[in-house]
Structure 1
Amino acid sequence: MVDKKPVNGHQILISTKSLNRHGLIAGATGTGKTKSLQVMVEELSLKGVPSLVMDIKGDLSGLGAPGSTNKIIEERAHHIQMEWEGKGFPLEFLSISDEPGVKLRSTVSEFGPIVLSKILSLNDTQQGLLAMLFQYCDDQGLPLLDIADLKTVLRFAAAEGKAEFQKMYGLVPTNSAHAIMRKITQLEQQEGDRIFGEPSFDVGDLCETKDGLGVINVLRLTDVQAKPGLFSAFMLSLLAELFQTFPEIGDPEQPELMIFIDEAHLIFKNASKELLEQLDTIIKLIRSKGIGIVFITQTPDDIPENILSQLGFKLQHALRAFTAKDRKAIRLMAQNFPESDTYNVEELLTELGIGEAVVSFLDRKGRPQPLVHSLMRPPLSRMDVLSNSELDSIVKNSKLKDKYEKRLDRISAHEELTKRIEEELEAKEELENEVPERPVAKKATTTRKEKSTLEKVMASSVTRTIARELTRGILGVFGISTTRRRTTSRRRRR
């Protein structure tokens, strides 16, 4: 657009080769962020690139059905000079909560002690104890599958098996064990235990195509907005799993997978320094795996500066300046865009209309391109949500449903250690209940011969002498007391 008027026939295209350098879609509520996200996902699907979309508000399910035209769409299509035709795209609905869709889970072992420590915000001592627990389970062949396994191992290390742990791995700090248990409880309160378990989700299933179109994996998260801890834990584990699983492919012509994180501030809200550092590292390195990440949020300020600096393209919708603080923030945000001789960026950011955006991006060789005021094309898919029956039909016909629907609960560390503790307690009780039989005292009997011999001994002079001396000694003590009492009694009478 030039002077706030569209230039017919001029299209702004972002090269797929640069998309794995990540990006940002930002703008105030109601300015068109979700529709821009919808358009990007559609274009990627048309090129055979699968994507994973975080649907926090529940308004992206319409991607699965063709859109319908109206006057605004026809006018927009005329300016862009495109032939608009409604089209639905292949969807897979995923879930980490009660929302309908394929359940995403991962085992505690797959998280590993380092990532889990970042999620729980553990200090060095607590992280060392957690690593000890993982090592113990590896050595003993105890599967760590879900939160119940981790809690049982932690209790065992701090109580019943403390001596065993200290002998094998060193001192078990009780305070650290209690602190880890509290952190696990906090995660459980946000239903974080739901993302642990089996069957573990294979991230390779996110990279499917259907009839030449990239499958759009919509992760429904409408009931997770008030649980930032759960959302952060899931995203960190997912990114870590993708990073560990996908091979290095360098700089491909187009991404293997694109990830769109709506309401991105939920990841960084109350995130610890360690968690932010882990995210920063993964985002820096994951692009060489052919994975691109796009954050969607209201203002660029929601994204940490070190991560924001890594984003290769920015699609900025309108910002609102209602207060002096807002105006100051917009002034700073304008400086994040390339300098432009054509636009006054600071003014333009507050004057953009719905469906308009300021776009900055990289070309195929990674060079920044001039800032452009652009009119976004209308989505081809429905700009409204699917009905419940339409959504249920997609979930029912999912090719992943049978693979992940039924939760597995095989014998793991919880069952093994619980059984061991119960057996030890039963053995202890049996030992305590075993009272040794006392030998029955044999009744003394004296024969005539023994009686005769005893009488002779008692009648002997030696025996009489010993008896007399003992009697004197005993009576002598009491005799003194008796004499004193009698003397005292006589004096009183006088």
Structure 2
Amino acid sequence: MTAGNQGNQAIQPGEMFLGGVIDPVSGQRMQRDIIYDARNLTTHGIIVGMTGSGKTGLGIVMLEEALSSGIPCLILDPKGDMGNLLLNFPSFSPRDFLPWINEAEAKSQATGTDQLAVQISESWRSGLAEWGIGPDRMQKLADSASCTIYTPGSVSGVPINVVGSLVAPRLDWSDSSQAEIGRDEIEGLVSSFLVLARIDADPISSPEHILLANIIEKAWSEGRDLDLGSLISQVRHPPMRKLGVFEIDSFYPQKERDRLAIRLNGLIASPSFAAWMAGPPLDIERMLYSSRGQPQASIIYLAHLSEAERQFVVTLILSRLITWMRRQSGTPDLRALVYMDEVFGFAPPTAEPPSKKQILTILKQGRAYGVGMVLSTQNPVDLDYKAMSNAGTWMIGRLQTERDKARILEGIESVSGQTDMKLFDRLISNLGKRQFVLQSAKAKEPVIFTSRWSMSYLAGPLDRNQIERLTRDHPLRSISISSSSAGAGAAYGTAASTSFKIASAAASQETLRQEGGMEMTRRSSGGFPPASGEISRDESQVAPRVDPSTAVYYLDPSAPWASQVRSMPGGKRLQAGLIARVHLKYDDNKAAVDHTEEWEAIFFPLSKRFDPKSAINVDYDDRDLTSRPPDRAIYLLAKADLDKASYFKEAKSALQDHLVRSRSISILRNPALDLYSRVGESRNDFERRCFQAAEDKADIEMAKLKDKHESSINRIKSQLNNADRRVRELNTDTRQRQQEELLHGAGDLLSGLLGGRRRSLSLGGAASRRSMTIRTQERLRSAEEKKEEKERELEELEDKLAEEISLISDRWKVAADQIEEIKIPLEKADVDVEEMSVLWIPVG
């Protein structure tokens, strides 16, 4: 926010010239302008002021500045004031102002409308001139962006089809973050639709909400668009068998689903509902930007709607906006501005209307994507505290009560603890008309300012006649009106053709069952003829004849594999296919295989000749099939001769031949071990089994090897033990003799020999002891050599044994790894076509 001297002609893109600064002491306007950075509005804004405070004029000024800067605007207009944006008259011609003059005002001033138009024209010219705004600036605004007034539920302006198509958003449902975006949009859509139908439902606990949300998510996640007719049809016959862990009939019984379908059907069957499906489809990208990328202002006029209808429209549009927003890249700039002229009832502090979640989501997440939201309200107590705390810009005008002022002070303090609340209290207590206190998260202190004169003529709330006058030449309106008048019947005809006389249909079906059984029900094909012109030459309202020996079924919409055959849940046009159940037997005596399995498939669509290669493998059970045709069924005539038994006989034979040629089962074989895997046994499990068998074989050979060498090993070990014992004995004897000789013998021998006193014979004893020691040592060496010989012999035997053990182990390891795959084929006698029936599948 900047405040500078007048000179707004130099305003740059992204700058918003909002007005002029007011001196808080004198209350007079100063020669400084309020130039506000549009990027500040990415943190959102709140405008508060009582009736007559000028907040609507300030909102229009803000939108004029945004559009002048090339910022597209989505404007929610509950009161009808925002259409004044189109009243931009750069020439200031009284003729331009004349159609918008209030005759009552002219009478009150005792003047004619022509004279009042002249006065207003001059007043507007001089008022804008005081702010330095002339025709050039006004023309720039007119050239910067086009403005469209949409009137949902009415053709007075540009109608918009907010509910007719339920087009699937372009999302990758395998991505959890994008799936979350889709679910949020579905929640808003279902909540708003149930509000429109006057059904109070909670997204978490209400079966109505949960069922509708699941039906829409299933279609969207499969890339399919919906319309209201198919949605209501699927309420009666949901395209899923379970919700959570409960069967659908336990979670939400059939009778209750019928009551919901009747309630919704009554809504769309009403002639007044046709206008809700007129006009271009709801597309946020096209509402913000033209086909050439030029920014636009899209005003959603809501003044003509009831409270429930307003909730419906606001919730739906904001949920679509959030989906669009989350697909954008991040930016610090203001990419788009969402303005709501009166937020009362849409985000209250206590109740939880469907719109509240969408508003809070934008306030919390919009900044990351450059989407700003500005909410306007008379009474701040009507706005949820979380919404107030997410606003970074506050513009507070004159307030009605002290309670309103206290609420504002509480909200401002929660956003910025640095604000001088006593000063702020004084500022908002002395405001005049068109004066506001501007508090920004980007500014240190609040500023009082007066809003500038708007370039758009403020004619007050516009009624539907005035809206029609403003949009009379709009290209989208001319297309919408011409298409709807070609038959408002067309819109209503669509609604009527997609709505269902549920109670009557159910009663007639029950009567047929009681009177003539299921065959009568089948022939009735729903009982209600479609509108004239809907049946082509290749279609029939009566089910085509089928060979009497062949069963006929209709696809239940809850079949989990319905999407594989591109079934259209709720569709009335049926195309024939064949459904087959075949028992296959695989046997091989050598491999000890005796395996049977059930093979099931759909053949769809059918050609003149049965083609077994067109099989779509599905795993179906009896719950996927029903003998009851949908209401108002139309049958596409099949090319195949379904009325002839020969067709089915040839089809069964062709299917048998095809399966014999194309199907087999694979098992594993180990020829070295003569082992075969079991059907369904994994390779890892079979490898473990082979390893265990090889190990058992190796153990047998090891046992034989042990028997072969055990006696030799025992003999050598015994000899080695004896040699070891002899060595120990001689070793001990030798040490004892050496000790005795050292103590006694050696001294006697030396002293006797050298002393000469002893006789020679007396020295013989000493010499004999010495000789015996020497001989003992020789025997010890001989024993040690013998021990070493036995040790070598034992070692050589162990080496030989180890080599033989390695050979055995390696041989069986190799045997365990000799695994190969073999196929067990079918023979024709092994193929039993248990069932081949006709299945009618909805395709449109």
Matched, 1:354 2:433: yes
Structure 1 residue 351, shift from structure 2 partner:
1.5
CA contact (8 A) 1:334 1:345 kept: no
The change in CA–CA distance for 1:232 and 1:136 in structure 2 (over 3 A counts) is same
The change in CA–CA distance for 1:390 and 1:274 in structure 2 (over 3 A counts) is closer
CA contact (8 A) 1:63 1:381 kept: yes
What SS class does the counterpart of residue 201 from structure 1 fall into?
Answer: coil
Map of 2:316 onto structure 1: 237
1:13 is matched by which residue type in structure 2?
Answer: I
Q: Percent same amino acid at aligned positions?
A: 18
From 253, 261, 267, the counterpart of 2:340 = 261
From 296, 308, 316, the counterpart of 2:396 = 316
Map of 2:88 onto structure 1: 66
Map of 2:476 onto structure 1: 400
What SS class does the counterpart of residue 294 from structure 1 fall into?
Answer: strand
TM-score (norm 1): 0.68
From 356, 369, 373, the counterpart of 1:289 = 369
* C-alpha distance in structure 2 between counterparts of 1:411 and 1:319, whole Å: 47
* C-alpha distance in structure 2 between counterparts of 1:26 and 1:327, whole Å: 10
Map of 1:479 onto structure 2: none
The change in CA–CA distance for 1:201 and 1:357 in structure 2 (over 3 A counts) is same
Structure 1 residue 7, shift from structure 2 partner:
4.9
Structure 1 residue 164, shift from structure 2 partner:
11
Matched, 1:128 2:210: yes
Judge which range, 91-100 or 124-133, deviates more.
124-133
* C-alpha distance in structure 2 between counterparts of 1:15 and 1:136, whole Å: 44
Map of 1:219 onto structure 2: 300
The change in CA–CA distance for 1:288 and 1:402 in structure 2 (over 3 A counts) is farther
Structure 1's unaligned 5+ residue stretches are 436-494
Structure 1 residue 434, shift from structure 2 partner:
9.5
The change in CA–CA distance for 1:327 and 1:185 in structure 2 (over 3 A counts) is farther
* C-alpha distance in structure 2 between counterparts of 1:420 and 1:164, whole Å: 25
From 447, 452, 470, the counterpart of 1:377 = 452
What SS class does the counterpart of residue 266 from structure 1 fall into?
Answer: coil
Matched, 1:50 2:101: no
* C-alpha distance in structure 2 between counterparts of 1:279 and 1:59, whole Å: 21
CA contact (8 A) 2:318 2:358 kept: no
Structure 1 residue 91, shift from structure 2 partner:
2.3
CA contact (8 A) 1:144 1:413 kept: no
Equivalence map 1:26-37=2 (5 Å): 26-37=48-59
1:93 is matched by which residue type in structure 2?
Answer: I
- How many residue pairs were aligned? 419
Which structure has more RCO (C-alpha within 8 Å, separation ≥ 6)? 1
CA contact (8 A) 1:91 1:394 kept: no
CA contact (8 A) 1:149 1:412 kept: no
Output one character per residue of 1:293-348: Cα deviation in whole Å (capped at 9) or x when no partner: 11111133222111211112111111123xx6456546545646755569822132
What SS class does the counterpart of residue 80 from structure 2 fall into?
Answer: coil
Structure 1 residue 95, shift from structure 2 partner:
0.8
Flag the structure with larger Rg: 2
CA contact (8 A) 1:65 1:87 kept: no
Structure 1 residue 278, shift from structure 2 partner:
4.7
Map of 2:833 onto structure 1: none
CA contact (8 A) 2:399 2:405 kept: no
Map of 1:100 onto structure 2: 156
Structure 1 residue 353, shift from structure 2 partner:
0.9
Structure 1 residue 412, shift from structure 2 partner:
11
CA contact (8 A) 1:315 1:360 kept: yes
What SS class does the counterpart of residue 283 from structure 1 fall into?
Answer: helix
CA contact (8 A) 2:85 2:457 kept: yes
CA contact (8 A) 1:280 1:306 kept: yes
Map of 1:228 onto structure 2: 307
Greater share of residues in strand: 2
2:383 is matched by which residue type in structure 1?
Answer: I
The change in CA–CA distance for 1:403 and 1:307 in structure 2 (over 3 A counts) is farther
1:251 is matched by which residue type in structure 2?
Answer: T
* C-alpha distance in structure 1 between counterparts of 2:294 and 2:224, whole Å: 42
Map of 1:345 onto structure 2: 424
Structure 2's unaligned 5+ residue stretches are 1-21, 93-120, 169-181, 195-200, 485-490, 521-844
Output one character per residue of 1:141-179: Cα deviation in whole Å (capped at 9) or x when no partner: 996323x5444433456xxx9999999856342386488
CA contact (8 A) 1:137 1:413 kept: no
Output one character per residue of 1:428-460: Cα deviation in whole Å (capped at 9) or x when no partner: 47725999xxxxxxxxxxxxxxxxxxxxxxxxx
1:205 is matched by which residue type in structure 2?
Answer: R
The change in CA–CA distance for 1:197 and 1:394 in structure 2 (over 3 A counts) is closer
TM-score (norm 2): 0.42
Map of 2:516 onto structure 1: 431
Map of 1:488 onto structure 2: none
2:343 is matched by which residue type in structure 1?
Answer: A
